[in-house]
Structure 1
Amino acid sequence: MTAFDDLVRLCPPPPADPPRTVDWARAEETLGTALPADYKRLVEAYGDGVFDETVWLLVPGSAYASCDLYAEKAEREEILADLWGMGEERPAALLEEGARILPWAHEEGTGAFLYWLARPGQHPDEWTVLYNEGRGPLWEHHDTQCVAFLLAVLTGAAETAYFGHLHEVLRPVEHRFETADETLGAARREAV
């Protein structure tokens, strides 16, 4: 069993009719990098949306800016460049020449983001996770891939200072994934 299989058992993906597809060649060309296989599988199974009302998955070309990998990548690059330009300390993992980050998810209501840490010469399937608290300078590195980290967060097994509240407060009996259309589309319909 893989982390992806365990995630699907824990939190079944929404039905997909027609199946979710992403033009991965276009996405990787637009981003200027290949993407991890576990992420591609995650996106194709779930699409854009939120796990347990907490972790929002970013998807290339989402109709919702807050779920669009392209839009969030550009925004995060600008924000972080400004912060680092003002003297905020970069995370130690980014001090390695050629190391870079790319967002893949964010935490509901906190400004916090989950990034891949891409080190020079690494294949995307070897990228690990960096968590940035969002409204502060603290970063947390996790030596695991995105799906395994997401599974650990949802099950309470992640060794993190940031997601403890998910199990202390929510403790879902049943884990749930809500699509962006269900969550954000509903808000858009109510505003009309």
Structure 2
Amino acid sequence: MTTSQVIVEGGETVPPNHPPAPYTLRFTQWQCGHHGTRPADIAVHNIAQAQAIVQAIGYAISQPGSARAVLFNAERGTTIYITDDYTDTIRVDDSSWSPRTTLHHATPEELAELLTLQGAFDYCYGGELRPWDGTKCIEDIDVVTGLSPAEIEAAVAPISRYEADQRRAVCDLPPVIKPVAELLSELREVAQELAAEVAERGGEA
């Protein structure tokens, strides 16, 4: 093998400009092993590779140990339960996985403006854009928060064995974290269009 090649699953060699792995395997609970050290995230190239990894871990777990993991791409994810000699079968159609929540972080000024655009949000997405304080369970597809990206990452991070009595999980799948600016721009345009439609109907009356 030359220095311009790297080994991936199955022993296949590919050039270093190979597309990045589309999936991430993250262990969210790790109740096994002598030290209880949760493995780092694993970049995964396909679902079969992820299945092989979690099955190998299942074979190595001794009772009463267990672990939970999530496999996710840029938009969706699925949960996996692992225990001794048993592992959930990962659905191969990733379009059937659950959507990841988009968590928009905003400044106080942006949050205040969003309150005036709830009608536009309801028109586009249905329902209400709810605020999130970092402690409640995330249930909606879109959520807004005044927390910083670092604070969000800390709040949604997997819980280690030693933190189990200090905090609780707030989500099954890691959210997509992004600034609220893009959503605000979209809602401003929609609000203007809705206002124009109202004005037009008023002129016709």
TM-score band, normalised by shorter chain: under 0.3
Normalising by structure 2, we get a TM-score of 0.20
By percentage of residues, which structure has more helix? 1
> TM-score, with normalisation over the residues of structure 1?
0.21
Determine which structure has more spread, i.e. the larger CA radius of gyration: 2
